[in-house]
Structure 1
Amino acid sequence: MRGKMTNGEMIKYASRAGEVAAYISKPEKTSKPAPGVILIHEIFGLSDHIKDVADRLARAGYVTIAPDLFSIPEIAGVLTSENLSEAMKFMHTLPMEKMRDTDYVAQALEKYETGNKQGLLAAMQMAFMGGMPKPKLVEEMKGAAAYLRSLDGVNADKIGSMGFCFGGGMSILLACNEKIDACIIFYGENPDPISLVENVKGPIMGIYGGKDIRISSNVDKLLSAAVQYNKAFEMKLYPEAAHAFFNDTNERTYNKAAAEDAWERVLSFFSKNLSSGQ
């Protein structure tokens, strides 16, 4: 999945919180304005993996911006690289099936020994235990959409979103609050309340792992809302895949066959609904 970086760079764009850091990757050559995609990172932040996915989308013809949502002041002091690294180490000590069991995680945190316990607890509370300021993050993502639309060479009428894990939930939440022409959810949580789906303007695609019970067992609620509010929704469930199966830097969860098939579905969905024509 790795590939040469193409026209990618870190930038900053103006938003509610001031300047937000982001990675942007552009197609090398376009004969006409290209569609844009807002790519939203996992709970562990704007990683090299997410930048690589942005580059892959750019090679497919999409101007792609991946905001560092953890760079805003409300979050930056808590979800630091040190604290996130400690959180990742802690999470890797847990059985995969218990990673989203908040009671189990809380008990394991009490017993976990580290020299950065305060930072770990703060990061875990914000990232995994309901402390994330999602309404504020929606505003930062709307700022990313506005920035994309302002760029020369971007088709302002064709903007999509895609995210993984935490970012998958934020992708659909953005589509509930902004005109997004095609929304992709990789194993992300449903909007809360689910009635927000009524506001979605474009089609939705959900991609899930069968072994990701906590997330995948709630997809029926999103499907029901899509039916209730007459929204286009398509879904793919990979029975043998776990949470984060697309991330090829995570040896514990990566599923090559599912990831490759999912990528083809991503390209087909965006081509159909964003009409890249590149």
Structure 2
Amino acid sequence: MRIPTTGVIIVALSGALIAARSAQPPARAIAPGAAEAAARLQSSPRHAEWAMIATAPGSKDSIAAWVVYPEVKKNAPVVVVIHEIFGLTGWVRGVADQLAADGYIAIAPDLLSVDRGGATTDTLTWDAARNLIRNVTPDKMNAMVAAVGRYGMALPAAAKVYGVVGYCWGGTASFNHAVFNAPGMKAGVVYYGSSPAATEIAKVKVPVLGLYGENDQRVNATIPMADSTMGAIKGTFVSKVYPGAGHGFLRAQDQPANRAASLEAWPETIGWFKKYLK
């Protein structure tokens, strides 16, 4: 899918139409912005817990991860939530909670915790986390995310499939994990993350959804190559660019264009997982 052009349409709503819209049921909840995440976590009725996940069978190295369970009757698919460049934050845990509200076992690993003896990075400064994340190579990231996926699929309440969604640095990681083609991985969602090289994208075998802000050309310049490469291998890649939104729009929902983008992007995310995590 090509990057769409955008325009502004002003519509005058009649009183009857406004009344009809007001009578409609409220829209479903979406993932919180950074300002709402703490309150969302505090009020969540869902069971959540910390888990220590071995990086490989028999390994002494462990990944700290936040696991949230949905309130459902049947086994649920797993979604691995890959954090931003700042490490695992309360905001990312809030995103995981909303994924669980939408019916998924959501697991948000702290990919910086392995090098810190399993200690989480939510108490680090952003600069410290950014420095640590330079040590997380694509190979290390893929091995850790695959380990988290295996852990999730082995849970008694889990279906034997998983998807990946990531944000910023994690968005790039999500696309890279699609390249990795780990067993059980069925779908990826990329939020404002740069695309891998064409030679890497050519290895992708799972459907990938890319969600981007219009005002993020550093990232968006990599979309056409991903589109053409996925088309050449007859892969499934859908990209959506939201007018006026910037990088990190799901986190920064206090800005109107970012909020509008988030209201559209979250249902797209859930729809993607519902379609492919079977």
Cα 1:225/1:162, change in 2 over 3 Å = same
Cα 1:202/1:62, change in 2 over 3 Å = same
- Alpha-carbon separation, structure 2, partners of 1:253 and 1:147: 38
- Read off the aligned partner of 1:48 and give its amino acid letter: G
1:47 and 2:68 matched: no
Partner of 1:189: 194
- Read off the aligned partner of 1:144 and give its amino acid letter: V
Q: Do the aligned residues in 1 keep the contact of 2:192 with 2:210 (CA within 8 Å)?
A: yes
Q: Do the aligned residues in 2 keep the contact of 1:41 with 1:164 (CA within 8 Å)?
A: yes
Question: Residues 261-276 of structure 1 correspond to what in structure 2 (within 5 A)?
Answer: 261-275=264-278
Q: Return the match for 1:7 from 43, 47, 53.
A: 47
Partner of 1:171: 174
Residue by residue over 1:145-199, the C-alpha shift from the partner in whole angstroms, topping out at 9 and shown as x without a partner, is 110111112111x3111000000111111111124211100011212x3322233
- Read off the aligned partner of 2:245 and give its amino acid letter: A
Residue by residue over 1:101-150, the C-alpha shift from the partner in whole angstroms, topping out at 9 and shown as x without a partner, is xxxxxxxxxxxxxxxxxxx5xx55554xx654231121111100110111
Question: Residues 119-158 of structure 1 correspond to what in structure 2 (within 5 A)?
Answer: 124-125=130-131, 127=133, 132-156=136-160, 158=161
Residue by residue over 1:205-253, the C-alpha shift from the partner in whole angstroms, topping out at 9 and shown as x without a partner, is 00001101100111111111101211111111012000000004x7579
Residue by residue over 1:4-32, the C-alpha shift from the partner in whole angstroms, topping out at 9 and shown as x without a partner, is 331111111111471110001111232x2
Q: Do the aligned residues in 2 keep the contact of 1:194 with 1:225 (CA within 8 Å)?
A: yes
Cα 1:151/1:38, change in 2 over 3 Å = same
Helix, strand or coil: the match of 2:65?
strand
Q: Do the aligned residues in 1 keep the contact of 2:167 with 2:193 (CA within 8 Å)?
A: yes
- Alpha-carbon separation, structure 1, partners of 2:54 and 2:135: 24
- Alpha-carbon separation, structure 2, partners of 1:39 and 1:125: 21
Q: Do the aligned residues in 2 keep the contact of 1:242 with 1:253 (CA within 8 Å)?
A: no
Query: Number of paired residues?
Result: 233
Q: Do the aligned residues in 1 keep the contact of 2:110 with 2:121 (CA within 8 Å)?
A: no
Q: Return the match for 2:211 from 207, 214, 220.
A: 207
Cα 1:138/1:84, change in 2 over 3 Å = farther
Q: Return the match for 2:66 from 18, 23, 37.
A: 23
- Alpha-carbon separation, structure 2, partners of 1:75 and 1:229: 41
User: Structure 1 runs of 4+ off > 4 angstroms?
Assistant: 74-77, 79-83, 123-127, 250-254
Cα 1:45/1:125, change in 2 over 3 Å = closer
Give structure 2 stretches of 5+ with no counterpart: 1-31
Deviation of 1:65 (Å)? 0.6
Deviation of 1:33 (Å)? 1.7
Q: Do the aligned residues in 2 keep the contact of 1:244 with 1:253 (CA within 8 Å)?
A: no
- Alpha-carbon separation, structure 1, partners of 2:175 and 2:82: 11
Partner of 1:100: none
- Read off the aligned partner of 1:209 and give its amino acid letter: G
Partner of 1:92: none
Q: Do the aligned residues in 2 keep the contact of 1:39 with 1:64 (CA within 8 Å)?
A: yes
Helix, strand or coil: the match of 2:202?
helix
- Alpha-carbon separation, structure 1, partners of 2:86 and 2:237: 28
TM-score (norm 2): 0.76
